[in-house]
Structure 1
Amino acid sequence: MAIQPTDRDPDADARAAHEPGTSGPVVACGTYVNGVRQPGHRSPAEAIAEVRASGEGFVWIGLFAPDEEHVRDLADAFALHELAVEDVLHAHQRPKLERYEHNLFMVFKTLRYVEHESPTTANEIVESGEIMVFLGHDYVITVRYGRHSALGDLRTDLEARPEWLATGPAVVLHGIADRVVDGYLEVVEAFQNDLDLVEAAVFAPRDAIGVDQVYLVKRELMELRRAVMPLAGPLLGLSDGTSGPLVPDGVRSYFRNVDDHLTTVTERVTGFDELLTTLVNATLAKVSLRQNNDMRKISAWAAVIAVPTMVAGVYGMNFDHIPGLRWKYGYPLVFATTLAVCLVLYRLFKHNRWL
């Protein structure tokens, strides 16, 4: 599914009611000291200025489908790299991790399973979105695209664990990664049920499923692959320390756990792809078999029809000396003989299962 920057955040109105200081695409802006959210409402620029003046805590800013003006303002306030800013403005990025001088920039693809009646007739099975994260030593900025990528629940969960949130903004990045990969697991479980239905339909004795229907499911699987497969490298970088000092050792081990879950998803997606390839080949083989059966039936009936056609052709010639031409019982005998030969051919083809 194409991600529309104009999608309305389903949590935006509720979040704005709790945070009257936010506006436009800025869904949330909170300052955290020792893992505890500080009271009051501040703009992103005011929040980061306060944190840097005190030298304590960090800022967590959440945006939903921001316009260029808001992104540029944040880029100026937080010294964000221009290449990462361009990625945010254009969206539709593949999962990746970019390391810059003062921050990390990471892109996640979010997935949501779309309920449907049948996987072979649904126009969409997997819907995708994006979460982009800027991570600095005293801030984390999340930029979201897609109606199902809300982080309100994650923010609430982390605020309920101040001792963990006190570790720093890398905890937020871990929470997002964990939430996204858990979403993959849910989609994979639901996708497994669809594959079971498709497999049963392909190998059913009398089914009407076609290759195009199997390809429809395979196309949706590609949407899943594009989200899952490229994320392995960035998660490995966060767990092995190559991402730099912004991810402390205490958080790094938790990224290894997320990487393990992603490996499970990757293995299942690879298995799905192999199964769908097998189902496509099986469907093509069944189509070929049906065509061969149809050709055998056509050939058998053509052979049966060829007998009376040949007899009619012979007796339709203008010759005087044709056997039985002037005999009283010639016509009934020829007709009976022709019918008998046709019946013998029919029984023979029927016995050999050509008809």
Structure 2
Amino acid sequence: MIVDCAVYRDGHRTEGPDDFSDALDAARAAGNSFVWIGLAEPTAEEFDLVTAEFGLHPLAAEDAVTAHQRPKLEEYQDALFLVLKTIGYHPADRTMSIGEVMVFVGDSYVMTVRHGSDSPLRKLRSELEKQPDLLRLGPAAVLYAVFDLVVDSYLDLATTLQGDLDELEADVFAPGRAQGVAERIYAFKREVMRFRRATLPLQEPAARLLRPDVPFVPEQLQPYLRDVADHLTRVNELGEGLDRLLSDILNANLAQVSVQQNNDMRKISAWAALAAVPTMIAGIYGMNFTHMPELHQIWGYPAALSLMTGACVWLYRAFKRAGWL
């Protein structure tokens, strides 16, 4: 559905025709104006009306309706088409929900299409209307503002993920480690991978928007777009650092598990050795052969018990010194 449609003249919102087709004609006739139309999860039938009026490329129109696109920047004959992923983070279960924002920029118009409930665009229009100097730069100013808002949300999320990772790291190396740590690490790593799938592909569109031959992007916007590109680079560096640290923590956890298993095996082996010595001695003296040494001596039974006890005490002290017990 159409969330809002307005005409902006000389950086200020103006009263215009209610019909977006008439609003576009009025903006083009004025020469220093553009139409900003915002849509939220439009159906194919709803978007067909917009496509016909704005002359959008059929492939871009199909992407805008179906969503689930990879972040990208497409240049068509009459428009620029930018796809961004929006991310909502749920700290309770440390999971993410992924949405999309698509921006069309063309002759005297900009169109934003959002999918998902975690869109950061709800307050963008009102905030941007407080910056007429920026809106005077035309429809590409809205593209910049959307791009900047999404990338800034990535930075905030990366900071949150770093805090959660520090907490997870403390749990891994705590003396009494909780159960299921490996599962938590793997689940966290999967969410970081989803985060990086949203941010990494944007590096190429950010670089392309800085080229002087990109249509509908005035030169005055280049410093703003460079700032977004710098922030995006920082986001990707943070994402890479999170991914590497998670891999290191997972390897450290596996090493801890392996060490613990070796310790357990050494203890089992030590106790088995302690049980084997008296069993062996008792087995020999339980054979009841007629000519066994010391079999008919009165001190034979206490001597056998003393031998078992002494052997076990010696083995116990030897294993204790070696750290096996």
Question: What is aligned with 1:27?
Answer: 3
Distance in 1, Cα, partners of 2:2 & 2:56: 17
Q: Does 2:201 correspond to 1:230?
A: yes
Question: What is aligned with 2:187?
Answer: 216
Q: Does 2:80 correspond to 1:104?
A: yes
Q: Deviations over 1:245-289 (max 9, x none)?
A: 210101122100110111111111111111111111111111111
Measure how far apart 1:41 and its partner are.
Answer: 5.8
Q: What letter matches 2:240 in structure 1?
A: T
Residues 28-67 of structure 1 aligned to structure 2 (within 5 Å) = 28-39=4-15, 42-67=18-43
Question: What is aligned with 2:291?
Answer: 321
Deviates more, 1:106-115 or 1:96-105: 106-115
Question: What is aligned with 1:21?
Answer: none
Measure how far apart 1:131 and its partner are.
Answer: 0.4
Distance in 2, Cα, partners of 1:249 & 1:235: 15
Q: What letter matches 1:68 in structure 2?
A: A
Question: What is aligned with 2:65?
Answer: 89
Identity across the alignment (%): 48
Q: Deviations over 1:70-97 (max 9, x none)?
A: 1222111111111112212221112100
In structure 2, which of residues 205, 224, 235 is the aligned counterpart of residue 254 of structure 1?
224
Q: What letter matches 2:178 in structure 1?
A: A
In structure 1, which of residues 101, 124, 142 is the aligned counterpart of residue 112 of structure 2?
142
Q: What letter matches 1:38 in structure 2?
A: T
Deviates more, 1:179-188 or 1:212-221: 212-221
Q: Deviations over 1:125-169 (max 9, x none)?
A: 333221011111211111111212142311011112223212200
Q: Does 2:127 correspond to 1:157?
A: yes
Whether the aligned pair in 2 keeps the contact of 1:33 and 1:56 (CA below 8 Å) is: yes
Question: What is aligned with 2:163?
Answer: 193
In structure 2, which of residues 20, 30, 50 is the aligned counterpart of residue 74 of structure 1?
50
Distance in 1, Cα, partners of 2:33 & 2:60: 24
Structure 1 runs of 4+ aligned residues shifted over 6 Å read none
Q: Does 2:246 correspond to 1:276?
A: yes
Aligned to 1:245, what secondary structure does the other structure show? coil
Residues 279-290 of structure 1 aligned to structure 2 (within 5 Å) = 279-290=249-260
Measure how far apart 1:235 and its partner are.
Answer: 0.8
TM-score, normalised to structure 1's length?
Answer: 0.86
Measure how far apart 1:312 and its partner are.
Answer: 2.7
Distance in 1, Cα, partners of 2:33 & 2:170: 56
Residues 109-128 of structure 1 aligned to structure 2 (within 5 Å) = 109-116=85-92, 122=93, 124-128=94-98
Q: What letter matches 2:191 in structure 1?
A: E
Q: What letter matches 1:223 in structure 2?
A: R
Distance in 2, Cα, partners of 1:221 & 1:321: 76
Question: What is aligned with 2:235?
Answer: 265
Whether the aligned pair in 1 keeps the contact of 2:80 and 2:215 (CA below 8 Å) is: no
Measure how far apart 1:49 and its partner are.
Answer: 3.3
Measure how far apart 1:318 and its partner are.
Answer: 4.8
Q: What letter matches 1:218 in structure 2?
A: K
Distance in 1, Cα, partners of 2:19 & 2:298: 113
The answer for unaligned runs of 5 or more in structure 2 is none
Whether the aligned pair in 1 keeps the contact of 2:27 and 2:35 (CA below 8 Å) is: yes
* Equivalences, count: 324
Distance in 1, Cα, partners of 2:269 & 2:205: 61
Distance in 1, Cα, partners of 2:291 & 2:20: 110
TM-score, normalised to structure 2's length?
Answer: 0.94
Aligned to 1:284, what secondary structure does the other structure show? helix
